[in-house]
């Protein structure tokens, strides 16, 4: 017999511990001395079933199950019909030009194994016994989400059914360790603050040395304003004075701040624990920035807050 391995992949394949090599998308003829060993090689059978290769007899090619049958014929060194050949047996020769032999198949109890039409061929009747009920394999199909359901019986590690009295315990882990007092679940709480955020920004160009600029936010008459942050910045040295008034008459100074070479930006954050709330018909908050450098420079300031 001739046996050729046809590689259907773009990767080199090997069998019999590397003694048979099949190039990518290539064909290799197996030497006659290795035909019997290759027919029982586990890797070649696996590659046949996964459609990585085909087996050829030099004329026809065989895939998957047909290829396995061809290998099976090789591994048995031919086809024996009837009982084992004895010393007094007459040799039988099968020729391809003869008519096919009728074969009757029976199981171990003597029951006939039947077949039925399967397309242009015939297939054996095979039944699967499930709890005493015969199931036709042809009726096995994928579950349909719209019509099928599966009942599952869940038990704990001791074999007890999960119920209201025996609930399912789910363990949560973080970074591979179970959640515990020493390995808690991180929780982030963010306050939902109603209102409209205000960014009152002013930039002033070429402010002379010793001169000042102001950034004033006037609270709308129907609103209250809570400042969160004040920012001032310049290329050189500056001084910022922060004031507020509820009525335009009484001026309250909140603080005076300076920048430096190491910290060129002035940033003032208001505490959330006791926030400042401004309201009134003429309520304002003002940041006055003075150029403390020897040269003129640009000055920038922002008032950030929430009015409600």
pLDDT digits (tens, 9 = 90+) for 231-274: 999 999 999 999 999 888 889 999 999 999 889 999 999 887 66
Indicate whether 139 pLDDT > 80. Answer: no
pTM to 2 decimal places: 0.40
What is the spatial distance between Cα 35 and Cα 105, in angstroms, rounded to a whole number? Answer: 29
What is the spatial distance between Cα 267 and Cα 231, in angstroms, rounded to a whole number? Answer: 5
- The full set of domain ranges for the chain reads 4-75, 196-307
CATH 3.60.70.12, domain 196-307, yes or no: no
- Confidence band, pLDDT 50/70/90 cuts, at residue 80: very low
Q: Kindly state the tokens that stand for 253.
A: 């100074």
- Confidence band, pLDDT 50/70/90 cuts, at residue 125: low
- Pick from 68-77, 101-110, 291-300: least confident: 101-110
How much is the pLDDT for 214? 97
Q: Kindly state the tokens that stand for 92.
A: 């039988």
Indicate whether 83 pLDDT > 80. Answer: no
Contact by Cβ (8 Å): 28, 20:
yes
Q: Kindly state the tokens that stand for 64.
A: 């998957």
How much is the pLDDT for 84? 47
How much is the pLDDT for 143? 74
What is the spatial distance between Cα 42 and Cα 188, in angstroms, rounded to a whole number? Answer: 56
Reference 307, options 236, 249, 222; nearest CA is 222
Indicate whether 90 pLDDT > 60. Answer: no
Distance of CA 225 to the CA centre of its chain: 46
Provide Rg for the chain, Cα atoms.
45
Q: Which residues does 227 contact at the CB level (< 8 Å), separation at least 6?
A: 270, 275, 276, 278, 285, 303, 304, 305
- Which residues is 233 bridged to in the sheet? 265, 300
Reference 224, options 275, 173, 289; nearest CA is 275
What is the spatial distance between Cα 71 and Cα 60, in angstroms, rounded to a whole number? Answer: 14
Which segments of the chain does DSSP mark as H helices, in order? Answer: 35-39, 42-49, 64-75
How much is the pLDDT for 78? 47
φ, ψ at 34 (rounded to 5°): -115, 5
Reported as half-sphere exposure (CB side, CA atoms, 13 A), residue 185 has a value of 6
How much is the pLDDT for 138? 66
Q: What is the DSSP letter of 96?
A: T
pLDDT tens string 177-228: 888 888 888 888 776 667 889 999 999 999 999 999 999 999 988 888 899 9
């Amino acid at each position: 017999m001739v046996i050729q391995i046809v590689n259907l992949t773009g990767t080199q394949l090997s069998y019999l511990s590397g003694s048979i090599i099949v190039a990518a998308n290539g064909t290799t003829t197996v030497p006659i001395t290795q035909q019997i060993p290759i027919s029982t090689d586990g890797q070649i059978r696996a590659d046949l079933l996964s459609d990585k290769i085909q087996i050829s007899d030099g004329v026809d090619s065989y895939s998957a199950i047909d290829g396995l049958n061809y290998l099976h014929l090789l591994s048995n060194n031919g086809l024996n019909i009837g009982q084992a050949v004895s010393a007094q047996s007459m040799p039988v020769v099968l020729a391809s030009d003869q008519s096919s032999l009728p074969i009757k198949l029976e199981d171990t109890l003597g029951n006939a194994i039947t077949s039925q039409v399967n397309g242009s061929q015939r297939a054996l009747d095979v039944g699967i016994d499930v709890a005493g009920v015969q199931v036709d394999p042809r009726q096995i199909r994928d579950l349909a989400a719209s019509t099928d359901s599966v009942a599952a019986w869940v038990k704990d590690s001791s074999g007890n059914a999960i119920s209201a009295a025996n609930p399912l315990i789910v363990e949560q882990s973080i970074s591979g360790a179970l959640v515990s007092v020493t390995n808690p679940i991180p929780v982030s709480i963010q306050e939902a603050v109603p209102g409209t955020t205000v960014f009152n920004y002013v930039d002033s160009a070429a402010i002379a040395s010793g001169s000042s600029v102001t950034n004033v936010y006037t609270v709308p008459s129907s609103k209250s304003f809570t400042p969160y942050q004040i920012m001032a910045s310049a290329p050189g040295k500056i001084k910022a004075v922060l004031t507020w008034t509820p009525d335009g008459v009484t001026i309250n100074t909140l603080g005076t701040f300076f920048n430096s070479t190491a910290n060129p930006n002035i940033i003032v954050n208001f505490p959330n624990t006791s926030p400042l709330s401004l309201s009134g018909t003429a309520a304002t908050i003002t940041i006055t920035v003075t150029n403390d450098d020897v040269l003129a420079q640009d000055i920038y300031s922002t008032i950030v807050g929430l009015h409600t």
